[in-house]
Amino acid sequence: MSKITFLGAGSTVFAKNVLGDCMLTESLQGFELALFDIDPVRLKDSENMLNNLKQTTGSRCRIVAYSDRKEALRGAKYVVNAIQVGGYDPCTITDFEIPKKYGLRQTIGDTIGIGGIFRNLRTIPVMLDFAKDIREVCPDAWFLNYTNPMAVLTNTMITYGGVRTVGLCHSVQVCMPHLFRQLEMDTEGVQTKIAGINHMAWLLECTKDGIDLYPEIKRRAKEKQKEKHNDMVRFELMFRFGYYVTESSEHNAEYHPYFIKKNYPELIDRYNIPLDEYPRRCIRQIERWQTMRDELVNNRSLEHKRSNEYASYIFDAMETNRPFKIGGNVMNTGLITNLPKEACVEVPCLVDASGVTPTYVGDLPPQLAALNRTNINTQLLTIEAAITRKREHIYHAAMLDPHTSAELSIDDIVSLCDDLIEAHGDWLPKYN
């Protein structure tokens, strides 16, 4: 029996989407859906939920929950990763509250920035443990990474984990539909080309019947920008740099040195930036789970419609050899020619029975490549810190981070990193 293993299966809502999609995919019938999570209560919740879904969908997939990670992985053909190391309490709280003492504010803190750096540092050792198990018990498996920080973790699994990996993010799928919905434009027949790095990929082309839609996009966006809305940062970046970026304004506000500045507090209101947004979301999700649990876990009539998550479509393409196009995170093997070869990039990829084949993009517009490189610098130095266990590279990553370096002195950056290392305690390995 072929096996799909889901690591972090206690993410019940996401497990419903990804594995529910698999249950509705004909080529995946008869697969074992193997669940693993370090939280036995959440693992059982997901097992119950998926068994209810199995009954209502009539799926021939087999649901098996494992308490042993290596056994969950043994013989797997595909592995889905959706873990979060450290959770909201204590780690996310630490990532936000200690930088605040230095006057450094964040919105999401899960990609780069000081929060992204430390999320990487506590996640990479766990991911490399996964890689060790995968090399031993399912060396030919495809590893689908959904966990942030996407670029660094995907890069690490390929470069140091030796695992066939593609990183998957929702931002490419929803970029054009979200933009067009805001601007009241019709998406029917629209063709797009998107490439860059995760959370900072660019809508390079947007056409319909061969006509460039960017002039109309920018005209409508100028009007939209006259009033408060939730995408003001991205519109400003488009006006200044020429292209719309894939990830949300709350994310991009902290990827650049322009928007969150303690000496210019009026920018927060001007661009409608939601400081401390991710902790608020965590609190809401924790509260909502109390009511959602009964609706999902104990609902014997639970139904599911196939979502737009890439995973089941990737598996189907590999099983049937029917090609499917995705936006995937892969190593830059000459794909984007003015970004470093050591970087993980987000480009269109073709999936079929031979696996994931990235497509050639060439040079990005120079200003876009330059913006990407400001984030890649911090990504690569974070990997260097995690692999070498040298504290100095944590400092380097933070000192080169666009937002952190725009707000803090070198001395304060080093002190902040030291405080965060101490506060994380055993969530991090020892650094020299």
The residues annotated with a catalytic role in the active site are 170
- Identify residue 67 by its one-letter amino acid code: S
Say how far apart CA 143 and CA 155 lie, in whole Å: 12
Task: State the DSSP H helix or E strand holding residue 425, giving kind and residue range, or none if neither.
Answer: none
| Residue 197 φ/ψ, nearest 5 degrees | -125, 165
Say how far apart CA 37 and CA 82 lie, in whole Å: 10
Q: How far is CA 70 from CA 8, 15, 79, 135, in A?
A: 14, 19, 12, 11
Q: How far is CA 156 from CA 137, 309, 381, 387, in A?
A: 19, 23, 12, 9
Asked whether the beta carbons of 33 and 43 are under 8 A apart, the reply is no
Say how far apart CA 174 and CA 244 lie, in whole Å: 13
Give the side-chain half-sphere CA count within 13 A for 111: 24
Q: For residue 340, is the peptide bond before it cis, meaning its omega torsion is within 30 degrees of 0?
A: no
Q: Look at strands 190-197 and 62-66 and give their pairing.
A: unpaired
Asked whether the beta carbons of 6 and 17 are under 8 A apart, the reply is no
Q: What sign does the CA torsion over 118, 349, 3, 161 have?
A: negative
Contacts of 320 (CB under 8 A, 6+ apart): 27, 353
43: tokens are: 């693992």
- Identify residue 126 by its one-letter amino acid code: V
Say how far apart CA 395 and CA 416 lie, in whole Å: 9
